[in-house]
Every structure is written in C-alpha cells, then in structure tokens.
Amino acid sequence: MAKRYEYWNKEMELKNRKELDEIQTKRLRAIVKYCYEKVPFYNKRFKEIGLHPDDIKTKEDIVKIPITKKQDLRDNYPFGMFAVPLTEIVRIHASSGTTGKPTVVGYTKNDIETWTELMARTIMAPNVTKEDIVQNAYGYGLFTGGLGFHYGAERIGATVIPISGGNTERQILIMQDFKSTVLTCTPSYSLFIAEYMKNQDIDIESLSLRVGIFGAEPWSDSLRKKIEDALHIDAIDIYGLSELCGPGVSVECPEKAGLHIWEDHFIPEIINPETSEQLGEDEQGALVFTTLTKEGIPLLRYLTNDISILNYEKCNCGRWHARMKKVIGRADDMLIVRGINVFPSEVEYQLMKIPGVSENYQIIVDRDILDILTIRVEVTPEYFSDKISDMEALKDKIEKHLKANLQIHANVEFAAPGSIERSIGKAKRVIDLRKDKI
Amino acid sequence: MVRQLSVFLPNKPGILAIFTEILGKNSINIRALTVADTADYGILRIIVDDPTKCLNVLKEANYLVSETEVIAVEVEDKPGALHQIAKLMGDNGINIEYIYSTLKAGAAVILIRVNKPEKALELLKKESFKVLGDEIYKI
C-alpha cells in the first residue's frame, strides 16, 4: 500500500529547493530592513559593527548578522524587542522559563494568522485531518502549547477537545467517551497516562487513539518506541519555541525521518555553540533561526541551544523543507561529567535499549572529589528476580552498556516502582547536586 | 515445591515497616522469611499462609514482586541435619543458590533454591527426606 501524505498548504509545502531559496532570500532582505528600522536593539547592534541592511543581499550574507541570544530578550524585558507598539499586539505569551524572568513574546493579528497556518500544516503533516478528534492536553495559558495546537487543529477542521494538562483520570474518561483519535501533550505526560492506565488495568483497546503529537521537551527514538507500544499509536515529534511562535516551527511527517522546518517562514542554521561559527549540512551543533515573517517580535539568528543536525535532501513525503534531526539535547542541559560531555537524552536513548529498564529513570550528578554519576532506574516487573545475582547482572549490564556507548562510568541504582517522580508537565530527569557545592 | 514471593525493597529506614503494616492489615501470616541485601536495595523472600492473596495485595500496593517455587524439606531439629542436605546437593553437583529455614513443632524446615530443582527433588525423595508441599502454608 502506498503511503499516504496529507498537506494543509500543498503549494507552499511542496516548493522545491530553488523556490524555497528564492522566497527566503527575498524575505530575509525585507525582515533585516524591518528589524533595522523598527527594533532599536537591532538598529543599535547593526550600527555598532558597521552593518547596514543593504549588506545583506543573499542568503549566505546571513552570517554577517550577529547572533541574538535569550539574554538579549531578558535584557529587554518585557516588551523592548517588539517591533510594533502594543496597540498592534493582540496577544502575549511567555516562556515556561523556570529560572529568572520569563521571555515575553507578542503577536500581531498577522502573526496569529501565520502561526495558525503553520500549526495547521504541522498537525496535518502526520496525516491528522478534519476526521480526527484532537484531545489537546497541552497547558492553556501563557505557555504557547495549548493555544497553538488549539487554533491549528480548529483550522484544519478537526474536532478539538481543549482539556488542557493534568487530571489524568478525566483525560482517560474523555478519551474513552469522546473517542479521541489524536493526543497532543508532552512525551512524558503520554507515558504518565500509559502507566496510569496499566496500573488501573484499563484496556488500551478501550481508546481510539491513533496518533500522538508530542513536544516541548527532548525525547529519544527509543522512548518513542515505548510510547508507541504502550498506547498503540504513531508518536510524532513536534518542535517549536515561544520566541519563534511556539509549536509549529517543525514537525515530523509519517516518515519520522527528521522534522520539517517551515522554511518559507524560518531560516534555520546550525552553529558551533562555542565559536558561533556556521556549520554545514550533516554537522551537529546548536540550532539558530531567523524569523522571516514575524511582525510583533522578529528575531535574527536566534540561538536556541537545541542541539541538532540539518538535512536538505528531498523527503519521501515530497517536501523539500529542511529536516532537523530530533533534538539531541540542549547545549545548556549538557552535563560535563569528569570532563566528558553527556546529553541526558543520549543517556535515555541508551537506557531504553536495555530490556528490563523502565521509562522511569533519573540521572543524578554529585561530586565527592571526582564527579559521580548515578542513574536510578525502576526495573520492569518481568525482569525482577528473586536472585541477587540476576539483579546485579542486570545492573552490571546497564553500567557496561553506558560505558561502551557513552564512554561514561555511571553507578546504577535500582529504585522501587513508583518511587521516581512522575511528570505531568516537563519531566525532571536530571538532578545536578554539584551546583550547590561549587 | 512451595510458592515463595520475592519483594524488592529499597535499603532505607522505614521501608520494611510500611511493608509489614500492609501484610498485617490484610491478615497475612509469614511462615518463613529471609532478606538478601545490597547497598541500595534488598530482596525479601517470604513464604506466607496465603500466597495468592499476598501476591494480589502487594501488586495492588505497587510492589515489585515475583513468585518462585522453592524446595521445602523437613528435617529433625538437631545438629548435623542441615549438613545432610548440603552434602547431598554438593556430592551431586547441585548448586544451592540460596537457603534459609524456619521452625515447626519439633522440626526444622529448610527452604532451598537450587540450579537443578528436578534433580534435587528426585535425590531428596530417594534418600527419604520429607519434602513439604501445601502443608507449609499451615505450619
């Protein structure tokens, strides 16, 4: 059977590389001029280095523009980076930032329209259509997840259930009674729901779910498999950040071979996070985005700190829109343990490959004289043995596997079922105790 | 063979008390017990009066629990009794993975998990040892 590919905006989604480059060049020149004229921050920064919008003639010239960082948004809190007066802003969102002040973004009427269009494409790319019933369990509020999905799903004509996050028992009841076919939430919450159902002996077959669109935190391919097996769905990765619009920057098509970035609205780049030097296709580094159409808060070369790789090959789905590899981790989440770079998501990826290790784990870093990395895992019931020798062999296997694949020495500790904190919003998988000791 | 339940317990203060409280509340009586411990966790192995009920209660309470069959042998409560069993196993190349015991009126009951249970049972019966079955739940 030939694979089915749905498109919301076939014309734009199927533009070829040359056409996309032309659109990007034209829009880049316009947005640079717009930023220079409308945003005092950019005007000042351009003048400081003697750069003029006319110097940006081609897409390649983008490297002349300095990188914009999250700190720049913080320094201009709350509305200093806006390109239009508040009278033109129809909506405010803010990042879920857990430390310091949130980053604030504003949308003009056109921005909301663009975002809705991008979310419509994003939701449809994994073949969700107007036939579907979308249970939107992303939080509604300042966080962009809830409303972003809500408007996009409505736009394609799907039936939206704006249930928001939490209250798992009610989520399951609604899923059963309303026959929801699509679940949208964080990947860790989807696991939480799956585990809840297992513990309550609720049959997965009592649900009608077929697709899950999960984002807002990095998750590995092996975790994808666990979610797919537990909920009997296709689990799709979606990417976005509030600074760029919210969800809807990129999404996987049914190929699940990287997330298509909507390149008519964003120019993606990969840079070396330490030197800010632009890296080539297939090189791993930090993602940087330039917004091409935003009016409220346009951003030039915004550094995300998300580590990925770009691929410009045409996809089997027919789209040329560049694909970013599933986010490997965040540059600022990266742990340096005894001088070795460790991405928590890579640890997860390796852990999930070992039979007997459940999806509930925690990475703890502490320091005695040297750094000590401890991984607490809950063992699955099938692998629990009455013999210490079996249990210790499993421990040893996990430690050896991590050593062989990540070059790190970790002490594995077994934890009782349910003892590792479960998550409803973003999962707290990493505990770095060294921070209090430096 | 008799039914033994093995339970995962973190090696921390108070954990056993929570566990025993659950057993007590559900009127489950422990017939024999042993703990194998490591730095971070222990495996508590128990023979109880009602294994099926106990298994359900523990699963309900979200314990990591597994069921294993072990051999129960009744011996005289006197010096040298355990030696007879240990020697019989050793002489026949059977490895004892773990062993513990409990008392019943006038006798001791030895509980063993071996690598070759069928062969061990055959030897014990041949040597006229009293191998226990369901009666262990009622001692």
Q: Which residues of A touch B15 (CB under 8 A)?
A: 416
Q: Is A375 helix (H, G, I), strand (E, B) or coil?
A: strand
Q: CB A388 to CB B68 under 8 A?
A: no
Give the end of a domain, one of A330, A355, A373. A330
**Number of cross-chain residue pairs from A and B with Cβ atoms under 8 Å apart:** 51
**pLDDT bucket at A1, cuts 50 / 70 / 90:** low
Q: Which helix (H) or strand (E) holds A327?
A: none
**CA A138 centroid distance within chain:** 13
Instruction: Indicate the residue type of A23.
Output: I
- Distance between CA B6 and CA B27 in Å, rounded? 18
Residue with tokens 């502490």: A366
Instruction: Identify whether residues A285 and A204 lie together within a single domain.
Output: yes
Q: Are B49 and B27 in contact (CB under 8 A)?
A: no
Please report the ipTM that was assigned to this predicted complex: 0.85
Exposed/middle/buried for residue A409 (C-beta within 10 Å: 0-12, 13-18, 19+): middle
A292 and A164 in one domain? yes
* A418-436 confidence digits (pLDDT tens): 888 876 655 678 888 886 5
Answer whether A419 sits within 8 Å of B10, measured CB to CB.
Answer: yes
pLDDT digits (tens, 9 = 90+) for A163-195: 998 899 999 999 999 999 999 999 989 998 999
Task: Give the mean pLDDT of chain B.
Answer: 94
pLDDT at B106: 84
CA dist., res. A66 & res. A48, Å (int): 11
Q: What tokens does A222 get?
A: 């092996």
Residue after which a domain boundary falls, among A307, A330, A353? A330
Rounded Cα distance, B35 and B31, in Å: 14
What per-residue confidence (pLDDT) applies to A305?
Answer: 86
> A47-89: per-residue pLDDT in tens?
999 999 999 999 999 999 999 998 899 899 999 999 999 999 9
Answer whether residue A38 shows pLDDT above 90: yes
Residues A319 and A345 in one domain: no
Between CA A231 and CA A183 the distance in angstroms is 10
The residue segments making up the domain with residue A380 are 335-436
Cβ contacts of B100 on chain A, cutoff 8 Å: none
From B9, B63, B64, residue closest to A379, measured CB to CB: B64
Beta bridge partners of A361: A377
Residue A39 Cα distances to A43, A85, A107, A129, A159, angstroms: 6, 11, 15, 39, 39
pLDDT at A438: 47
Q: Residue A321: what residue type?
A: H
pLDDT value of residue A423: 67
Q: What is the CATH number of the domain that holds A397?
A: 3.30.300.30
A343 and A316, same domain (yes or no): no
Per-residue pLDDT of chain B (139 residues; tens, 9 = 90+): 999 999 999 999 999 999 999 999 999 999 999 999 998 899 999 999 999 999 999 999 999 999 999 999 999 988 999 999 999 999 999 999 999 999 988 899 999 999 999 999 999 999 999 999 998 998 7
**What are A88-100's pLDDT values in tens digits?**
999 999 985 555 6
Instruction: Return the bridge partners of A330, or none.
Output: A306
* Residue A232, phi-psi category: left (phi > 0), alpha (psi -120 to 50), beta (remainder): left
Q: Does B41 touch chain A (CB under 8 A)?
A: yes
How far lies A311's CA from each of A37, A99, A321, B76, in Å?
Answer: 33, 33, 9, 76
The nearest CA of chain A is from the CA of B119 a distance in Å of 20
- Cβ neighbours of A379 in B, within 8 Å: 8, 64
**Model confidence over A246-255: pLDDT tens digits?**
999 999 999 9
How high is the mean pLDDT of chain A? 92
Number of domains in chain A: 2
A211 in a domain, yes or no? yes
DSSP class per residue in A138-189: SPPSSSHHHHHHHHHHHHTTPEEE---S--HHHHHHHHHHHT--EEEE-HHH
> CB B66 to CB A386 under 8 A?
yes
Best probe of the B interface among A357, A386, A413, by most B CBs < 10 A, is A386
Is residue A311 located within the same domain as residue A379?
no
A390 to chain B: which residues are within 8 Å by CB?
Answer: none
Least confident window among A21-35, A347-361, A380-394, A410-424: A410-424
Nearest to A386 among B40, B62, B68 (CB): B68
One of 3.40.225.10, 3.30.2130.10, 3.40.50.720, 3.40.50.960 is the CATH number of B2-68, namely 3.30.2130.10
Q: Do B64 and A417 touch (CB under 8 A)?
A: yes
Q: Which of B38, B63, B65 sits opposite A388 (nearest CB)?
A: B38
Percent of chain A at pLDDT exceeding 70: 96
B72-131 CATH: 3.30.2130.10
How confident is the model at residue A66, as a pLDDT?
97
Whole-structure pTM value: 0.76
Residue A109 per-residue DSSP state = H
Cβ partners under 8 Å of residue A427, min gap 6: A186, A188, A217
Residue B80 has what pLDDT? 92
